[in-house]
Chain A
């Protein structure tokens, strides 16, 4: 069952789009040497409350922001201990009130290498593995990045993470810690908000997107035909960032959130399965308090528990 959680992880959280860029999770199950899979996931996410810094607010000039995404995720086992995962989302986002225009387009493509560095047997039924992953993502097209309603923030990012993955016959639990380094973005305009710490604060268009750290804990039930799991994810701004406000560029905002979710996978045929999930943000910073449902198909080589 190594494929599923990976795919599901990937799918479920690919779409945190309005404030964060598309996040996607890497799971602890390896794909298997020369085995491939493709998942196509649709999702819908909306919020009418959002956090300015950590304070909840609503805005009648915004209403409810709804984001739909269609994401393709491909996974391929380059070796028994090395996987390549690529993903690309197409996103549409729209506000129900006010005059913000709808935004639509390809967001950020990403590629990740996952390496299972160590694999220990604990007794007869348990295995513990220690994994590392390195990923890179960048915008596919030059979308609008500095707007309340936008499909992403436009930065190029490096992502490094490590995972501990414990699996038994019919359950697993994975804990991971990651650091996402977000690069600089060039805005459409000169930045000139007041910041006394800057020597000459009104001369540039290039701004930094704050880096974040991430902790994810995920656990669930697995068998040959069905997967059920629950997870929690917490992203925390690591570097200095701003808060949502007039004149403040959106990409420089410090974005964080705590998100809870659940995912189900049902295998219908040897090479075909369905997935569905739900997740919701319970707390955050400069992010929409959104809930998301998603569903999709998973095609490919899915051998259970090999």
Chain B
């Protein structure tokens, strides 16, 4: 009897053990958000790349009484009833949020291409980065998010203006029962089509290897809104057209923002290193030593006022011979020698090094939560991201400018016994870009989401000190980074106050 029982138990266990499928990453399924406001005045909000929404005109739509429109409408109605399971999957995927989904796609692509050139130990050669992507690092990632968010925001302001100018009623008001929640704003032009097209084109410019992937996504996105019963084809077409015009303007700005030279092909950073006045000079701690990450990314054109930002570059840090520096160094040493588990966790959480979506990507992920909690519509989500990503890009640029002005060595260069919880970034130490970016993000987001201000302040503090816990930054890197970031965050808050959105 006992034998029988045990055999059955073991058999059952083996079946259970072998039978379950396990995803590599566990992700939850989140409910849709229902936007809390339509922002009917959105068409008058201040745009970023465009001078105003009026710069792109959207043609007048056909009247809803026209035969052509009525045909479109009945096709959509019938389509909704006949939707296939595949179509429903697409509908549900994109109904999560156009801006949010394209932001996720951008993060995915940054993680894929945020690759430093490799070193082949067999041949002793550094392997080149992919020709389509020679620029890896935090400035590269921050710029991708900034360009994408600005393009989405401007496209939606233009779309919103046309929506309330022409007032073509939403399909819901015409008796279509949609398959996903749809914001009750005029349907022409489709905000989803505008976001899909502009995101696809801007990302295709930034990731030329991914054109096929992006086009497939954009096509599915646009179609999904027709399948969902949110738009008729002429709504989609108009959204697409305005986005294409805008995308060209955003790409024009990207071409002249000086990022193309940021990887410093002629190695001018070595001259800057020789001229730097700090008493000990940074060297790469990698074996073999490598050129630093994007040495000229500090010269990239800023989004907010460049004169104000230039004044924010911090002063020279204490010289290595000073008592202040020795105190800062021994603090790093002591933390590294007795790092707690929680300090390791914090260091790892905020690290976001190579092959990740970078720290600015993490802040985009965290912001997704706030956008959802607050039920922001597409336009407002895009505004949040456009304000945030411009500010984080400027904070990254200014951090880079500071790092490649002073060339302050990493703690482990001065004291090789300092072991680090995360890989040492191949950039100078001062200032801490993670402190700058996180303080910028928290300052702006606290303004946009005041009820989360306490949580955000705690996150920014933790992010800033994480470099010290990791053993890759001094306390003064963190403090000055926080100061710098807070100031840039305040510039973004000022812009948010003045852009016309309430």
Interface residues of A (CB under 8 A from B): 57-61, 97-102, 115, 117, 132, 134, 142-144, 146, 158, 160, 179, 181, 184, 187-196, 198-204, 206-208, 211, 239-242, 245-248, 252
Contacts and interface: CB of A to CB of B under 8 A. Distances in A.
Contacts of A142: 341
Interface of B: 3, 6-7, 10, 13-14, 17-18, 22-28, 93, 104, 107-109, 111-112, 114-116, 121, 213, 285-288, 336, 339, 341, 344-345, 348-357, 361-362, 365, 412, 418-421, 423-424, 471
A193 B104 contact: no
Of listed A58, A99, A115, A207, residue having the most chain B CB within 10 A: A99
B314 to A, nearest CB: 26
Contacts of B354: 246-247
Contact of A158 (B6, B17, B356): B17
A101 B419 contact: yes
A160 B419 CA distance: 39
A117 B116 CA distance: 56
Contact of B419 (A58, A59, A100, A198): A100
Given A99-B418, A101-B339, A117 B27 contact: no
B177 to A, nearest CB: 26
B246 to A, nearest CB: 26
Contacts of B121: 57-60
Chain A: interface secondary structure? loop
B14 to A, nearest CB: 5
Given A99-B285, A192-B357, A201-B108, 11 more contacts: A100-B419, A100-B420, A101-B419, A132-B10, A144-B341, A194-B108, A198-B24, A201-B27, A202-B111, A211-B17, A247-B114
B339 A207 contact: no
Contacts of A102: 419
A241 to B, nearest CB: 7
A207 B26 contact: yes
Contacts of B104: 200, 202-203
Nearest to B120: A57
B82 to A, nearest CB: 25
A189 to B, nearest CB: 5
A194 B207 CA distance: 14
A191 to B, nearest CB: 5
B3 A248 contact: no
A66 to B, nearest CB: 15
A134 B13 contact: yes
Given A179-B18, A208-B25, A192 B353 contact: no
B427 to A, nearest CB: 15
Contacts of A246: 115-116, 353-355
Nearest to B113: A194
Contact of A204 (B22, B25, B112, B424): B25
B28 to A, nearest CB: 7
B221 to A, nearest CB: 14
A115 B6 contact: yes
B25 A194 contact: no
Contacts of A160: 10, 13-14, 17
Of listed B27, B93, B213, B423, residue having the most chain A CB within 10 A: B27
Contacts of B352: 189
A100 B109 CA distance: 28
B26 A204 contact: yes
A158 B18 CA distance: 11
Contacts of A206: 25-26
Given A190-B362, A242-B24, A245-B355, A60 B287 contact: yes
A193 B10 contact: no
B27 A200 contact: yes
A240 B24 contact: yes
Nearest to A63: B287
A240 to B, nearest CB: 6
A233 B412 CA distance: 41
21 contacts: A60-B121, A61-B286, A99-B420, A100-B420, A117-B3, A117-B6, A158-B17, A160-B13, A160-B14, A179-B14, A189-B351, A192-B107, A192-B365, A198-B23, A201-B25, A201-B108, A204-B25, A211-B22, A245-B355, A246-B355, A247-B114
Of listed B7, B10, B28, B362, residue having the most chain A CB within 10 A: B10
Contact of A132 (B6, B213, B336, B421): B6
Contact of A208 (B26, B412, B420): B26
Contacts of A193: 111, 355-356
Nearest to B421: A101
Q: Return the 9 tightest CB-CB contacts between A and B, nearest first.
A: A247-B355, A194-B112, A188-B348, A101-B419, A60-B287, A246-B355, A206-B26, A188-B345, A246-B354
Contacts of A61: 286-287
A246 B352 CA distance: 11
Contacts of B18: 179
A212 to B, nearest CB: 11
Contact of B355 (A59, A190, A203, A248): A248
Contacts of B109: 194
A189 B13 CA distance: 32
Nearest to B285: A99
Of listed B13, B22, B353, residue having the most chain A CB within 10 A: B22
A160 B115 CA distance: 40
Contacts of B353: 246-247
Nearest to B118: A246
A187 B115 CA distance: 22
B13 A97 contact: no
Contact of A188 (B288, B349, B419): B349
Contacts of A200: 27, 104
Contact of A195 (B24, B361, B471): B24
B379 to A, nearest CB: 23
A192 B420 contact: no
Contacts of A194: 108-109, 111-112
B344 A188 contact: yes
Contact of B27 (A99, A146, A203, A252): A203
A184 B26 contact: yes
Contact of A202 (B3, B24, B108): B108
Contacts of B349: 188-190
Contacts of A207: 24-26
A101 B356 contact: no
A202 B341 CA distance: 24
A117 B345 CA distance: 46
Nearest to A117: B3
B367 to A, nearest CB: 13
Contacts of B17: 158, 160, 179, 181, 211
